Structure 1
Amino acid sequence: MELNPAFPLEMLDTEILMRLGAAAVLGLIVGFDREWRGHAAGMRTHGLVCVAAAGMAVSVMALYNQLDAPRVDPLRMFEAAAGFIGIVGAGLIVFSRGKVHNLTTAAHLWLATVIGLACGLGQWPLVLVLAIISLVIITIMRFVEGWLGQRERKLDGD
């Protein structure tokens, strides 16, 4: 069996370390809310998903550039990531007592996957925008949901 040439360890450059490190840190940050609220997938899960997606992106693009084969499609990594995280997310979502649980956690994992892929591909403007928007949504929406819940309880009590 013919394999692609091995990647010498001394060629491990700062770009790869930065991409994987950024994915790990951002995955932990995105997972902090889930951890804080005691949900099934917390910081470790989000960090692992994010850095795994980044590692997959780096590996796929490196292999694509090495092989120079016209039939190789690096965009299939998105299909694989979506399929995998879809299975994980579906396993998290539970319908109990008339309510859906862990839907936001599943969406968080999908977001961690996309952030990881963007980190692995070095798409830094996209990484920055995704991270900022996700943190704003998760923090501001917690306050909005709390306010709406209080308002609803007041309307029910009147």
Structure 2
Amino acid sequence: MANEWELVGRLAFSALLGSAIGYERERLAWVAGLRTHMLVCVGSTLIMIVSAYGFSDVLSERVTLDPSRMAAQVVSGIGFLGAGAILARGEIVRGLTTAASVWSVAGIGLAVGGGLYTPAVAATIIILIILAGIKPLERHFIGTHQRRELLVTAERDALSFDTLHDALGAGTTRIQQFVIRQKDSAPQLDDIVITFTRVTPVQFLALQKRLGAVPGVLQVKDPDAPAG
């Protein structure tokens, strides 16, 4: 059995690895950020330590334990945090990547708790590359021209996701982000940012016209459109 100070070191090392991934999520203002990832990583490490060493005093020829059982519960139980990361983004399904990072951090914590330091560090590096390094490549190769944004000014509460769905129909499935903020200069109005993904210019123009016809919508603006 590892000595107590080595186990404490595992917990501290786990917090360090979790913070690296958590910081990447924190800088993008996701709800599951630095502290959440650190807690998940340290908590799963502690559970792995308890699973591996916490019952050694009851072992005998007649009593055997399966150290993997508690670890398996971490893998399945982390789902509630993942669901929270997704649902916290509102009516649009977002946060799947953050939910996956929380689940992956739990795996890193289990690896550290089991003393598998090299795989834990390697997994941390790979996850950081996936989260921070591949995103620019994804944007480049998928094509940013397929991702378009509209700025909408509407009367207060005139445009919700339900009314948007009624107006756009099947076009609603192309929405990547739907953000409503109260207009600072006019509290009776809303500033709304709607981001569409994988739309052709013709489809984007049709969606823009449908939005402009919604009652209470005062202005629909394409920020990428040439001036004049």
Task: Give the TM-score normalised by the residue count of structure 1.
Answer: 0.81
Percent of residue pairs bearing the same amino acid type: 33
SS in 1 for 2:200: helix
Cross-structure match for 1:156: 200
SS in 1 for 2:115: coil
**Structure 2 counterpart of 1:21, which letter?**
A
Give the CA RMSD over aligned residues. Answer: 2.2
Of residues 29, 32, 50, the one that matches 2:23 is: 32
Cα separation, partners in 2 of 1:96 and 1:48, compared to 1, 3 Å: closer
Identify the range of structure 1 (138-147 vs 31-40) with the bigger mean alpha-carbon deviation: 138-147
Residues 100-115 of structure 1 mapped to structure 2, 5 A cutoff: 100-115=93-108
CA contact (8 A) 2:51 2:67 kept: yes
Which structure has more relative contact order (CA 8 Å, sep 6+)? It is 1
Runs of 5+ unmatched residues, structure 2: 149-198, 203-228
CA distance in 2, matches of 1:100, 1:144: 23
Larger Rg: 2
**Structure 2 counterpart of 1:12, which letter?**
E
Relative to total residues, which structure has the larger strand share, 1 or 2? 2
Mapped pair 1:90 → 2:83: yes
Alpha-carbon distance, 1:149 to partner: 4.4
Cα separation, partners in 2 of 1:144 and 1:126, compared to 1, 3 Å: same
CA distance in 1, matches of 2:108, 2:10: 11
Runs of 5+ unmatched residues, structure 1: 1-10
CA contact (8 A) 2:75 2:107 kept: no
Task: Give the TM-score normalised by the residue count of structure 2.
Answer: 0.58
Aligned length: 146
Relative to total residues, which structure has the larger helix share, 1 or 2? 1
